[in-house]
Structure 1
Amino acid sequence: MIPFDISFLAQSTITPDQYSLLCLFVGMVTVLGLIIVMRANAFLALITAAMVVSLMAGGAIQDKFARVASAFGGTAGGVGIVIALAAIIGKCMLDSGAADRVVRAFMSIFGEKRSPIALMGSGFVLAVPVFFDTVFYLLVPLGRSMFRKTQKNYLLYVMAIATGGCITHTLVPPTPGPLVVADQLNVDKGLMILIGVMIAFPAACAGLWFSSLMNRVMPLPMRPLGNEPEPEAIPDDKLPSLWISLAPVLLPVLLISTNTVLTTMADAERAAQLRPGDIADWNAFRSRIQQDQDADDETNFGKHLLATINGNDSDEERARIAELLLQDGDLNGEEQNELREGLNRFVLLDKSFPKNRDAFLGTKLSATAMSLAASNPARMAPVTAERMNREVLESAYDADVVKPYTWETAKRKASNVTSMLGDPNFALLISALIAMWTLAVQRSLSLKELASSVEVSLMSGGLIILITAAGGAFGAMLTVANVGDAIQNMFPIGSDAASAKLLVLLLGFGIASVLKIAQGSSTVAMITSSGMLVSLASPEVLGYHPVYLAASIGAGSLFGSWMNDSGFWIFAKMSGLTEVEALKTWTPLLMVLGATSFVCAVLMAIVMPLV
């Protein structure tokens, strides 16, 4: 009889890290076995793997499966609305002719001679809200039409379409893969869009160059696709205007990016940090800590503060700050500045300083401090930690000792407004309404017909939501099993060497690549990889912003596409290529895109770490 709780294995001769890696191995075997061998749907494979890993991980037996459902709901709540709205936007843009208008605009800008650039640019833009297979279905007829005009470069045309569609599909939200990765690694969606586009552009250029090279090496003819006639082009007067067509794509990018910029500016103020004069009475401030240090109780506020400063390992700078707090006599101006900076660095930035309770070691916390302390430390931004700990200090001391700070600065008030308007759920809702209105007007649809069209799009988006939420639950259970810590202990990530910290990017790229090769889905590869590495995704550990880890995972999910990838078959069948021709063109193209994206992510992490 198989026991319901097999976490007792963790107590055997194997180490905790080895047991965590065993959980990871079993989880991956479950996912890959169900998808590859049993041909199970990705949702069933991921949710089964999540339950298996949860069963192996520690915790109360009654919570084993309940926490899987909780993690599933958390992921669905974070990305479900966005994915559903993106599905509506994509279908409405296709049915209304808005997507066709965008493509023709690119064609008119670049001209016939530069039509590969136009096709690549069209795929690049349209794959942001529209899934890759839909983008390819839309653009392949234009590539075939271009070949009928020029009688050359057919392979270049279809590879250019694939280049643009694939690269933003794996790097730029709200496409499900990068959206979930950003959510799991706690990366701002606007920043993910900005950095994703910056990395995707040079990768797309490299892909276009490679497409041109392959077109010269093996110039393939255009072949008929079954017995179906080539679709006729829609007249220009039946298409919506360019700006209306672009609005569903550009509006959310504009709103989300504006919020990111203003929030970054507000965060850069570091309003909660201790500034000169904020500690009005240094003697009174230190007196409480010294009294607590001499008290008989094992744990109190002062002892906990000193323990936070001293950290887990010996450090001369930390020891100096503790010495200044405990020494007798007045502090001179230089010592006050030294102590203030030490408190900012070692206390205010510590994400675990307060406990999640209304009374913290004898100190009644403010409502703000209680709310912030309830957050997940792994997902807490440094500026939030500073605010939480400043609230704790102000709760522990009178205003004549620690002066109150002002959080709602002018920049913060502006960012609060854009946080509402730039929320991805709201931004895509507005875009979806515009896309629906365009479809209704352009095709003269009744409300019932419009509702029917939206319902069709939601059915396709529902499956994506289920898969991404199941993947999020799987990643959460890997976190419960301490897989991230085990992986971190295998590599010198915690060292000060930049080369060692950059190994995490290689790790994310490599894991996503292996998963992509093994089971074929870029989305599953991204979700699983980010779930494994979530515990490493903080600027303090990495030395650079985790957005670059997210981009590296996205780059890895492109690497190694072959016959188990649905994209492979879409490219081959819709282009009229044989399997061997697709292996010679599609597979190396995605390797070029993935490798270039990864190199760009590494270079940007070095040159522009964003920490």
Structure 2
Amino acid sequence: MPPFLADPIVIIICGVILVVGGIIWLRLHPFLALLLGAFAVAMMTPAAAIEQFAIDRGMSAQAAAQMADRHVGERIAEAFGKTVGTIGILIAMASIIGKCLLDSGSAEKIVRSLLRLTGPKNAPAAFFGGSFFLGIPVFFDTVFYLMVPLAKAMAARLGKNYILLIMAITGGAAMSNSLVPPTPGPLFLVSEMKIPIGMMMIGGTIVGLFTIAAGYGYAVWANRRWPIPLRDSIDAPLEKIHALAAQDESRLPNLWLALLPVLIPLVFISASATIDSYYADANHPLLTLIRFLGEKNTALTSGALAALLILAFRNRGSGSSTNILEPVSASLMSAGVIILITAAGGAFGGMLQQTGISTRIADLTSGYQMALIPLSFFITAIVRTAQGSATVAMITAAGILAGVATDANLDYHPLYLALSIACGSKLIPWMNDSGFWIVGKMSNLTESEVLKTFSPLLTIMGLAGLLVIMIGAKLFPLI
């Protein structure tokens, strides 16, 4: 193979062309396109790059050599399986929660209560702010899974603004997930750059509020420019959603009962995160129980069981309608496709990482003497765009810039560098990002619709964050 073809940038360009071209021009199913892209990238990646990738992640030289000698199919399957292990149960349980929230009338009850509180005009803004604060203790995908049924029920009741509500959920949760601890990316930045966690939480929240304001402006414009209707699907049939919207209030569950499937995972996960942050060494039996229930897979499973019990309770006395097999089967059919596509995206992203793209970017920027805040932002953005994971992009950029943040005599607090890395991780979500497929498939959007809405939304929010950070570093250096 010619030497230039071994360059990580060339490999990534080839993989991107194959995936995007396969989906848009050849009309391949995303699962197949992503898997073919993963095979192409894996076969083009030299063994030396794979060895170096493994060594950089703490493997011994012998283990790294064994990894490089493995068949490309094995490496792809490992990355595929790792992604399934991370998101498989979450997607399945969340799909059951969403189906049961819709079928039991719980989502309709929550929507009606929210409309009474905010009014129809302010509902999208309430979704934006709510998803931001939910995204602080809970992962982005979990927040999205829990709120999508509410967006569908709200869109059915309003008769419009479906894509605005979807963007409100994704924008708010995505920003808080990268800006505010205790999610993994911000926690890593806090550790590497020696920033007090409380300062990162306050700074991330302030910057996040500015970014969601900018994101809301774009979401309103995009909703007018590309009005996308609520579509029929196996797990959320329009006929059933509209029937629930027309139901009398007395036939809907109580609000506290309707919220239970959402509150159970939210409370358990939040409590566990708080304990891990402030009482990591404590071994009290109650704390141990909360840690067990707060593990994300356990928490979502608990929420799904609660949702199924509520559905069965609401349908009691209706003959065979107490059977919960149909909603579980329908939700798992939908979840299975999402899991496969997302896992293929994870395999593609994993193969991109093995090319050594992080080291290549570090070499390209080593002598670049531009301001550190925008430099950290764009390094993170390049890594995110290249390999798809916001958390990996943040960790990579922190590894490059942590020494500067802790050793150099900066004119501002390292907090601003950390925040710029967090905002840079929002650019540019596309087909190698599992979140791209989760948003698209669970919202029943086409790939081009996601590229017109979700991708520019996060990009605009990230750029707005960079602007706020640079102004803040100048006016309030905190040193």
> C-alpha offsets along residues 174-205 of structure 1, whole Å, 9 cap, x if unaligned?
xxx99xxx8899979xx9xx899877654444
- Alignment root-mean-square deviation, CA: 5.3
Structure 2, unaligned stretches of length 5 or more? 48-67, 135-140, 190-196, 232-237, 406-414
* Residues 537 and 95 (structure 1), Cα distance of their counterparts in 2 relative to 1, 3 Å cut: farther
Please say if residues 30 and 49 of structure 1, whose CA atoms lie closer than 8 Å, have aligned partners that are also in contact.
yes
CA distance in 1, matches of 2:227, 2:125: 20
* Residues 535 and 117 (structure 1), Cα distance of their counterparts in 2 relative to 1, 3 Å cut: closer
Q: CA deviation at 1:426?
A: 0.7
1:450-529 mapped onto 2 (5 Å cutoff) = 450-492=324-366, 499-500=371-372, 502-509=374-381, 526-527=388-389
Residue 130 of structure 1: SS of its match in structure 2? helix
Q: Which residue of 2 aligns with 1:254?
A: 267
Q: CA deviation at 1:552?
A: 3.9
Q: CA deviation at 1:597?
A: 4.4
Please say if residues 381 and 428 of structure 2, whose CA atoms lie closer than 8 Å, have aligned partners that are also in contact.
yes
CA distance in 1, matches of 2:107, 2:303: 14
Please say if residues 206 and 596 of structure 1, whose CA atoms lie closer than 8 Å, have aligned partners that are also in contact.
yes
* Residues 601 and 261 (structure 1), Cα distance of their counterparts in 2 relative to 1, 3 Å cut: farther
1:410 aligns with 2:423: no
One-letter code of the match for 2:31?
F
1:104 aligns with 2:112: yes
1:359-438 mapped onto 2 (5 Å cutoff) = 409-410=281-282, 418-438=290-310
* Residues 54 and 570 (structure 1), Cα distance of their counterparts in 2 relative to 1, 3 Å cut: closer
1:240 aligns with 2:112: no
Please say if residues 558 and 591 of structure 1, whose CA atoms lie closer than 8 Å, have aligned partners that are also in contact.
no
One-letter code of the match for 2:275?
L
One-letter code of the match for 2:331?
S
* Residues 534 and 253 (structure 1), Cα distance of their counterparts in 2 relative to 1, 3 Å cut: same
Q: Which moved more, 1:256-265 or 1:65-74?
A: 256-265
Please say if residues 28 and 49 of structure 1, whose CA atoms lie closer than 8 Å, have aligned partners that are also in contact.
yes
2:39 counterpart (46, 51, 56)? 51
1:138 aligns with 2:153: yes
Q: CA deviation at 1:537?
A: 5.5
Q: Which residue of 2 aligns with 1:164?
A: 168
1:77 counterpart (69, 81, 85)? 85
* Residues 54 and 87 (structure 1), Cα distance of their counterparts in 2 relative to 1, 3 Å cut: same
Please say if residues 380 and 396 of structure 2, whose CA atoms lie closer than 8 Å, have aligned partners that are also in contact.
no
CA distance in 1, matches of 2:292, 2:437: 38
Q: Which residue of 1 aligns with 2:425?
A: 553
CA distance in 2, matches of 1:565, 1:80: 13
* Number of equivalences: 407
Q: Which moved more, 1:597-606 or 1:431-440?
A: 597-606
Q: Which residue of 2 aligns with 1:595?
A: 460
CA distance in 2, matches of 1:569, 1:422: 27
CA distance in 2, matches of 1:111, 1:534: 41
Please say if residues 90 and 296 of structure 2, whose CA atoms lie closer than 8 Å, have aligned partners that are also in contact.
yes
1:443-454 mapped onto 2 (5 Å cutoff) = 443-444=315-316, 449-454=323-328
* Residues 412 and 466 (structure 1), Cα distance of their counterparts in 2 relative to 1, 3 Å cut: farther
Q: Report the TM-score when normalising by structure 1.
A: 0.53
One-letter code of the match for 1:489?
D
Please say if residues 11 and 355 of structure 2, whose CA atoms lie closer than 8 Å, have aligned partners that are also in contact.
yes
One-letter code of the match for 1:255?
F
Please say if residues 27 and 49 of structure 1, whose CA atoms lie closer than 8 Å, have aligned partners that are also in contact.
yes
Structure 1, unaligned stretches of length 5 or more? 1-5, 145-153, 268-408, 516-524, 574-578
Q: CA deviation at 1:58?
A: 3.0
CA distance in 2, matches of 1:571, 1:430: 24
> C-alpha offsets along residues 285-339 of structure 1, whole Å, 9 cap, x if unaligned?
xxxxxxxxxxxxxxxxxxxxxxxxxxxxxxxxxxxxxxxxxxxxxxxxxxxxxxx
Please say if residues 71 and 472 of structure 1, whose CA atoms lie closer than 8 Å, have aligned partners that are also in contact.
yes
Residue 40 of structure 1: SS of its match in structure 2? coil
CA distance in 2, matches of 1:487, 1:450: 52
Residue 145 of structure 2: SS of its match in structure 1? coil
Please say if residues 51 and 68 of structure 1, whose CA atoms lie closer than 8 Å, have aligned partners that are also in contact.
yes
Q: CA deviation at 1:234?
A: 1.9
CA distance in 2, matches of 1:569, 1:77: 19
Q: CA deviation at 1:429?
A: 0.8
One-letter code of the match for 1:457?
S
* Residues 65 and 210 (structure 1), Cα distance of their counterparts in 2 relative to 1, 3 Å cut: closer
One-letter code of the match for 2:74?
A
Please say if residues 376 and 421 of structure 2, whose CA atoms lie closer than 8 Å, have aligned partners that are also in contact.
yes
1:42 counterpart (23, 30, 45)? 30
One-letter code of the match for 1:256?
I
Aligned-residue identity in percent: 25
Q: Which residue of 2 aligns with 1:363?
A: none
1:88-237 mapped onto 2 (5 Å cutoff) = 88-111=96-119, 114=122, 117=125, 128-130=143-145, 136-144=151-159, 160-168=164-172, 170-171=174-175, 202-208=210-216, 233-237=246-250
* Residues 68 and 103 (structure 1), Cα distance of their counterparts in 2 relative to 1, 3 Å cut: same
Please say if residues 51 and 64 of structure 1, whose CA atoms lie closer than 8 Å, have aligned partners that are also in contact.
yes
One-letter code of the match for 1:46?
L
* Residues 199 and 40 (structure 1), Cα distance of their counterparts in 2 relative to 1, 3 Å cut: farther
CA distance in 2, matches of 1:241, 1:526: 41
Q: CA deviation at 1:159?
A: 6.6
One-letter code of the match for 2:13?
F
One-letter code of the match for 1:238?
R
One-letter code of the match for 1:461?
A
CA distance in 2, matches of 1:55, 1:592: 34
Q: Which residue of 2 aligns with 1:331?
A: none
CA distance in 1, matches of 2:89, 2:444: 32
Please say if residues 127 and 169 of structure 2, whose CA atoms lie closer than 8 Å, have aligned partners that are also in contact.
no
Q: Report the TM-score when normalising by structure 2.
A: 0.65
One-letter code of the match for 1:426?
T
One-letter code of the match for 1:433?
L
Q: CA deviation at 1:453?
A: 0.7
* Residues 504 and 475 (structure 1), Cα distance of their counterparts in 2 relative to 1, 3 Å cut: farther
Please say if residues 107 and 149 of structure 2, whose CA atoms lie closer than 8 Å, have aligned partners that are also in contact.
no
